[in-house]
């Protein structure tokens, strides 16, 4: 015999077997219970009917008078047969106190003896009903005493029997009916299970439960391995996914699935994503005392929002990567600018040599060498953070390439950064302010574009000032320039720099101010408190 491992059954087969087996067992058990109940009820009914007939026959006066006298059976037999025919029972037997039959549907049994033990109760002047096998087959029979002399003396017993073959016939009819219902029920069950399994398979993308379980475990493992925190909720705001990193960042238990997201992490504002259906990217929020960068995305299913997902990561992790990238980019930019500038200077030196202006060549070399050494020494001496110093040098060389007079005031100084801001945030603030200033003076069509940078390391605050002589910023636009996406360049991928500057400043507890007189020019002043 070939055995089939149940785990290889398809979902459709399992549904079919379960439905078929359930319906079959329900109908089978119900049929057995119903047949037993009906059989018992029929037997009780036949017993009560037989007893009623036995009482009627035992009360007939002609029978009472002729029981126990010689030749009495000749009188009793016709009377009993007439009563049997009228009552439609299978047999009526009159027995005297010696157990001798005085009547019987089969005449050959008249005069013979009734030997069954259930007659003993009736011979003791008591009625009873029993089921037994007699000369006419298995029957339900009732025994009623025959009493004379005003019911004071018993002279015999009337036995009325109903053969149970009729009951068996009724049972067989019920079985046929039940089997017919079983077949109809099984047909409906099989059809319904096939329809159900087809819809279930379609809803499950034709995957088997084992495959779904494996895919689910793989997805969970994938979510847990991602270094970003992931929180997913359904349309009732209940958390459905919370990976290890998310639990660590928000300081929650990893078994927090099922909880309301508003109670666990209200700063995520995922309920707003459910309501608006809009995606928000790279928003800075504070969770559990940590600054994180969060992206919120709604989950759509058939044009309905069924949930939302938030992914986030600590800003400090991003800052570490950004610092490395910024240092590399600043280094590359400085090399590129210096290469371009040195090529121009080498060409100038080559021209002077070709013209045999040797003294001018020497003076030119001394001048450019002293200028570079002076700015390098100044920046290295006055700025303790080498990343910021490298950024300023890079911007300085870039300004030379763009023919912009970039001035770092002589009183600029930085001993250490405030506690609430890191190097990367400071790089973003200074870099964006200088880039905007360079863009402004280039767009201002001024004959002498000039940008002045100042950093004052005061006792209780760090102040940064970037002044340009560009076209300036109208009063009505001075607050809009800090909005996410606002730009005056008219191109994509702009309008983020000043927004990031303000975000970093405010996260450090500082303020940013714009001064732009009507005559032109703009000055951005940043104040960041210490401690």
198 located within any domain:
no
Reference 453, options 422, 473, 431; nearest CA is 431
Contacts of 203 (CB under 8 A, 6+ apart): none
286 located within any domain:
yes
Tokens coding 170? 């009724």
Spell out a b/e string for 178-208, using b for 16 or more CB atoms within 10 Å of the CB, else e: beeebeebeeebeeebeeebeeebeeeeeeb
140 located within any domain:
yes
4 located within any domain:
no
309 with 370, same domain: the answer is no
187 located within any domain:
no
406 with 479, same domain: the answer is yes
> What pLDDT is recorded for position 414?
92
The per-residue pLDDT for range 122-179, each reduced to its tens digit, is 889 898 988 877 666 678 889 999 998 888 889 999 999 888 765 556 666 766 777 7
259 located within any domain:
yes
212 located within any domain:
no
Q: Please give, one letter per residue, the 3-state secondary structure of 431-467.
A: HHHHHHHHHHHHHCCCCCCEEEEEEEECCCEEEEEEE
- Domain total in the chain: 3
> What pLDDT is recorded for position 526?
94
Reference 156, options 117, 185, 125, 186; nearest CA is 125
450 with 367, same domain: the answer is yes
253 with 116, same domain: the answer is no
Domain that holds residue 437: 357-529
C-alpha–C-alpha distance, residues 147 and 432, integer Å = 126
361 located within any domain:
yes
233 with 164, same domain: the answer is no
305 with 373, same domain: the answer is no
The per-residue pLDDT for range 186-221, each reduced to its tens digit, is 788 778 777 777 777 776 666 666 777 777 777 777
Reference 294, options 322, 315, 278; nearest CA is 315
125 with 42, same domain: the answer is yes
> What pLDDT is recorded for position 371?
66
C-alpha–C-alpha distance, residues 440 and 516, integer Å = 12
**Which residues in the chain land under pLDDT 50?**
1-6, 327, 490-494
Output the CA torsion 327→333→334→337 (10° steps). Answer: 180
Q: Which residue, 138, 169, 200, sits at the end of a domain?
A: 169
115 with 19, same domain: the answer is yes
76 with 138, same domain: the answer is yes
The enclosing domain of 362 has a CATH number of: 3.30.565.10
What pTM, to 2 d.p., does this model score?
0.43
> What pLDDT is recorded for position 133?
75
Q: Which residue, 265, 292, 315, sits at the end of a domain?
A: 315
The enclosing domain of 77 has a CATH number of: 3.30.450.20
146 with 235, same domain: the answer is no
378 with 478, same domain: the answer is yes
391 with 512, same domain: the answer is yes
Q: Which residue, 264, 287, 315, sits at the end of a domain?
A: 315
C-alpha–C-alpha distance, residues 261 and 268, integer Å = 8
Contact 493, 423 (CB under 8 A): no
């Amino acid at each position: 015999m070939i055995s089939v491992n149940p785990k290889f059954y398809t979902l459709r087969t399992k549904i079919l077997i379960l439905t078929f087996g359930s319906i079959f067992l329900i109908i089978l058990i119900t049929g057995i219970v119903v047949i037993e109940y009906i059989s018992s009820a029929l037997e009780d009914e036949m017993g009560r009917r037989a007893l009623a007939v036995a009482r009627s026959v035992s009360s007939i006066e002609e029978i009472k008078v002729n029981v126990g006298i010689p030749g009495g059976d000749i009188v009793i037999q016709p009377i009993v047969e007439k009563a049997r025919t009228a009552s439609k029972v299978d047999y009526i037997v009159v027995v005297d106190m010696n157990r001798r039959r005085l009547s019987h549907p089969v005449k050959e049994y008249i005069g013979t003896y009734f030997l069954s033990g259930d007659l003993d109760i009736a011979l003791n002047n008591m009625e009873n009903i029993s089921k037994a096998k007699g000369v006419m087959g298995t029957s339900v029979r009732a025994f009623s005493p025959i009493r004379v002399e005003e019911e004071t003396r018993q002279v015999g017993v009337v036995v009325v029997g109903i053969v149970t073959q009729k009951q068996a016939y009724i049972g067989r009819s019920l079985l046929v009916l039940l089997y017919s219902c079983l077949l109809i029920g099984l047909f409906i069950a099989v059809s319904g299970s096939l329809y159900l399994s087809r819809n279930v398979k379609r809803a499950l993308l034709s995957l088997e439960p084992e495959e779904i379980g494996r895919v689910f475990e793989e997805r969970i493992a994938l979510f847990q391995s991602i270094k970003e925190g992931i929180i997913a909720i359904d349309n009732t705001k209940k958390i459905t996914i919370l990976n290890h990193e998310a639990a660590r960042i928000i300081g929650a238990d990893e078994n927090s699935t099922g909880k309301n997201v508003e109670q666990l992490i209200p700063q995520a504002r995922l309920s707003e994503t459910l309501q608006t259906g809009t995606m928000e990217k790279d928003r800075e929020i504070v969770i559990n005392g940590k600054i994180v960068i969060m992206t919120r995305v709604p989950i759509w299913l058939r044009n309905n929002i069924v949930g939302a997902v938030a992914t986030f990561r600590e800003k400090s992790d991003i800052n570490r990567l950004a610092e490395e990238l910024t240092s590399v980019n600043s280094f590359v930019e400085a090399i590129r600018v210096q290469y371009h500038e040195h090529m121009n200077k080498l060409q100038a030196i080559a021209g002077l040599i070709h013209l045999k202006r040797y003294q001018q060549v020497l003076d030119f070399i001394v001048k450019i060498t002293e200028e570079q050494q002076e700015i390098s020494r100044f920046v290295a001496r006055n700025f303790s953070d080498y990343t910021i110093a490298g950024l300023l040098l890079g911007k300085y060389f870039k300004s030379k390439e763009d023919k912009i007079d970039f001035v770092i005031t002589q009183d600029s100084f930085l001993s250490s950064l405030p506690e609430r801001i890191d190097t990367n945030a400071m790089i973003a603030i200074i870099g964006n302010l200088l880039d905007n200033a360079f863009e402004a003076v280039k767009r201002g069509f001024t004959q002498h574009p000039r940008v002045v940078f100042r950093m004052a390391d005061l006792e209780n605050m760090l102040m940064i000032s970037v002044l340009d002589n560009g076209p300036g910023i109208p009063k009505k636009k001075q607050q809009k320039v800090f909005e996410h996406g606002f730009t005056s360049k008219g191109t994509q991928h702009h309008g983020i720099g000043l927004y990031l500057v303000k975000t970093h400043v405010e996260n450090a507890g500082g303020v940013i101010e714009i001064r732009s007189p009507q005559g032109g020019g703009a000055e951005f002043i940043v104040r960041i408190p210490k401690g």
